[in-house]
Amino acid sequence: MLCEECNKNQATVSITVTSGEDMNTRHLCPECMKKMELSLAHGDIQSFLSSILAVLSASKTEKHQPTCTGCGLTYSAFEQNGRLGCAQCYMDFSEQLKPLLQRIHGRTQHAGRVPASFANNPQKQIQKQCDELRQKMDEAVASENFEDAAKYRDELRALSEHEEANLP
Amino acid sequence: MSQSVNDVVVSGRVRLARNYFDLPFWGMSNEENAQLCISRATESQLTNPTEDTYTLYTLRDMTKVDRQALMEQHLISRDLLKHSEVGAALISKDQMISIMINEEDHLRIQSIVSGFDLGLAASEAFKAEEKLEGICTFSFDPQLGYLTSCPTNTGTGLRASLMMHLPMLTRFKQMGNVNQSVAKLGLTTRGIYGEGSEALGDLYQISNQVTLGRTEDEIIEAVTAVGKQLIDAEHALRSRCLSDQSAELKDTIFRSYGLLRYAVQMDEKEFMQHWSNLRLGVSCGLLDTSLELVDQLLTTAQAAHVKQYVKENTPDLAVNQARCQIIQKYL
């Protein structure tokens, strides 16, 4: 795991801060840990605490701040100006956008024209669906959400079988 | 009084919002990508030299007045003017198709017809889209359809709108009810230059709000059906007013006609009010001018067009005086 402070070195130290019922753990590299220890060694407890708090608040913001992997737009930036940054935003913010689209349009399944490149190439469509399912499955496994992962695996299997059955 | 849809409908418009699949949307884009959007669109229209019927307008190479004049002709939108550093438009020679580049989406393909035929407008827009599709791939998702910068356009990316002249519904304070009923059907009413603009000259744009989960035909049918109802309601009020309040109606129309013919100076807001009465008078058969001419006047007496006229013909004349000269050439 990479250090959550510098995002460069391997994290070897874990710090857990407990505040009331909240417990936050941060993983740091020796270099970043040393910086914090130095402030403590110099009796600068204020500086040490603010480093810890800055790290923790950054972690909290990240947790509640979905960010597009395509263009880097945060969901809160989208909420402010109402404009998405790229096509990938639709995938990365799908959880938030689905209810929004439902509210705006009353439906969430496209019923209109399909570009010629898609219409003439059903395999491309299935391939795209497979890619998306595979990505969702990997994410579910990474977050130890095995129930969802199994659901995606079954969907993926069904789709692949369907594709094979329809091959010329 | 013979009534036709053109008495009420000034124009019909269909626009498609499209984005290139491999470039970030406008908000996260940069100069290089913006230029790429322009060159791709231009290339697609120039691949067949025999069909080279488009002219490229690059906004930053144009004066502010010339840009605004394109907006007054509804060939570009107010939003494109805001992006004038990178905005461009490919406009067909007959001015029926305009492809706005680097507006809110990479491409806004719009087709304008002079009457009520939104089906025709749509098929022309799709033809232009197919040409573009020949050389590039648009951002598309099988579930969500065409992906657009704003989720309000996701799906078909299609906005069908009718520019309607509704002086009687306005006069009898029915527009509040109209707005409410129209909203229930997933449609919306806007002013003369689209979202956020004023309904000057009793002109309203009726368009679909919903773009996802309906086919293009369903959207066009819905806008057309509401358009027909509004035409009937406006015609009914005109007939009633002509029989019950004939003197008042004629007085309003002829006073406006008199001012338009003989006034020496007139600002745009006052012009729009009299223009509305002029159009109503022509539609009701009270004035002997063609609707086509009246609709042309609507564009040529707008601020930027008047400024262009002043620059070319009468550099010392004030804009409000020049407007009257233009009007009087028409009447």
Domains of chain A: which residue ranges?
13-63, 66-112, 118-165
Q: Say yes or no to pLDDT of B48 above 60.
A: no
Residue B305 Cα, gap to closest chain A Cα (Å): 33
pLDDT for the residue B270 = 96
Nearest to B213 among A84, A109, A129 (CB): A109
B25 to A83: CB separation less than 8 angstroms, yes or no: yes
Stated as kind and residue range, the H or E segment containing B90 is strand B88-92
Residue A14 pLDDT > 80: no
| B132 pLDDT higher than 60 | yes
CB B80 within 8 Å of CB B65: no
What letter would DSSP give residue B74?
T
Interface probe, candidates A113, A130, A159, chain B, greatest B C-beta count within 10 A: A113
Task: Tell me the C-alpha distance between B44 and B56, whole Å.
Answer: 12
Would an 8 Å CB–CB cutoff place A100 in contact with chain B? Answer: yes
User: B25 and A84 in contact by Cβ < 8 A?
Assistant: yes
The model's pLDDT over B185-215, given as tens digits with 9 standing for 90+, comes to 889 998 877 666 667 899 999 999 999 999 9
Taking an 8 Å cut-off on Cβ atoms, the answer to whether B150 and A84 are in contact is yes
Distance of alpha carbon B283 from alpha carbon B275, whole angstroms: 12
pLDDT at B63 over 70: yes
Provide the CA B38 distance to its chain's centre, in angstroms: 23
One-letter identity of residue B199 = A
Most confidently predicted of A17-26, B125-134, B249-258: B249-258
- How far, in Å, CA of B298 to CA of B302, rounded? 7
From A82-91, A114-123, B98-107, the region with the lowest mean pLDDT? A114-123
- Touching check for A103 and chain B: CB below 8 Å? no
pLDDT at A124: 65
pLDDT at B5: 87
Q: Please, what's the largest Cα pairwise distance for chain A?
A: 75
Which of A104, A114, A118 would you mutate first to test chain B, the one with the most B CBs within 10 A? A104
What pLDDT, on a 0 to 100 scale, did the predictor assign at position A8?
78
**Pick from B138, B159, B197, B165: nearest CA to A119:** B138
Instruction: For residues B167 and B286, give the distance between their C-alpha atoms in angstroms, rounded to a whole number.
Output: 15
With cut-offs at 50, 70 and 90, classify the pLDDT of residue B172: very high
Q: Do residues B40 and B196 lie in contact, with contact meaning Cβ atoms separated by under 8 Å?
A: no
Chain A closest CA to B33's CA: distance in Å? 13
Establish if A97 touches chain B: CB-CB under 8 angstroms: yes
The predicted pLDDT at position A2 comes to: 73
CA–CA separation, B243 and B225 (whole Å): 28
CA A44 to CA A50: how far, in whole Å? 10
Q: Top-level CATH class of B5-236?
A: alpha beta
Structure letter (DSSP) for residue B20: B
Cβ contact B267:B322 at 8 Å: no
Q: Confidence band (pLDDT; 50, 70, 90) for A49?
A: low
Model pLDDT, residue B297: 96
Instruction: pLDDT band for B79, please (50, 70, 90 cuts).
Output: very high
Please say whether the beta carbons of A67 and A49 come within 8 A. Answer: no
Interhelix angle B175-184/B216-244, rounded to 10 degrees, is 160
Distances (CA, A) of A61 to A58, A76, A97, B261: 5, 11, 19, 66
Is the pLDDT score of B254 beyond 60?
yes
Beta bridge partners of B56: B90
Structure tokens that stand for A12 in this block: 């070897």
pLDDT: which is higher, B153 or A123: B153
Average pLDDT (B63-90) is 94
- Please determine, for residue A39, whether its predicted confidence score (pLDDT) is greater than 60: no
pLDDT greater than 60 at residue B242: yes
pLDDT band at A154 (very low <50, low <70, confident <90, very high): confident
Q: What is the mean pLDDT of residues B106-116?
A: 93
Whether residues A116 and B133 touch (CB distance < 8 A) is answered with yes
Distance CA B298, CA B305 (A): 10
Q: Residue B25: its pLDDT value, please?
A: 94
Taking the domains of chain B in order of start, what are their residue ranges?
A: 5-236, 246-330
Q: What is the pLDDT of residues B260-302, one digit of tens each?
A: 999 999 999 999 999 999 999 999 999 999 999 999 999 999 9
User: Which residue in the set B140, B214, B218 is minimally distant from A118, CB to CB?
Assistant: B140
Q: Which of residues 10-69 of A touch B (CB under 8 A)?
A: none
**Min Cα–Cα distance to chain A from B101, Å:** 16
pLDDT of residue A159: 76
CB B144 within 8 A of CB A108: yes
Beta strand residue intervals within B178-315, DSSP E: 187-190, 203-208
Confidence of residue B241 (pLDDT cuts 50, 70, 90): very high
In whole angstroms, give the CA distance from residue B115 to residue B6.
Answer: 6
Give the model's pLDDT for residue B26: 85
The per-residue pLDDT for B49 is: 54
Within 8 A by CB and 6+ apart from B129, the residues are: B16, B18, B109
Average pLDDT over residues B85-89: 95
Rg, C-alpha atoms of chain A: 22
Contact B212 A110 (CB under 8 A): yes
CA B283 to chain centre: 20
In the predicted structure, residue A22 carries a pLDDT above the cut 70: no
Contact A24, A16 (CB under 8 A): yes
When mean pLDDT is compared across A11-15, A90-94, B70-74, B95-99, the lowest value belongs to A11-15
Tally C-beta pairs within 8 A across A and B. 111
CB contact under 8 A, B212 and A115: no
A81 → closest Cβ in B27, B126, B145: B27
Instruction: Tell me the per-residue pLDDT of A109-125, one tens digit each, with 9 for 90 and over.
Output: 999 999 887 776 666 66
Predicted local distance difference test score (pLDDT) of residue B136: 84
Mean pLDDT value across chain B: 92
B215 contacts on A by Cβ (under 8 Å)? 111-113
- How far apart are alpha carbons B221 and A79 in whole angstroms? 32
Work out the number of other CB atoms within 10 angstroms of the CB of residue B4.
Answer: 13
Which residues in chain B have Cβ-Cβ distances shorter than 8 Å to A128? 142
Q: What is the pLDDT of residues B21-47, one digit of tens each?
A: 999 998 888 999 999 999 998 887 655
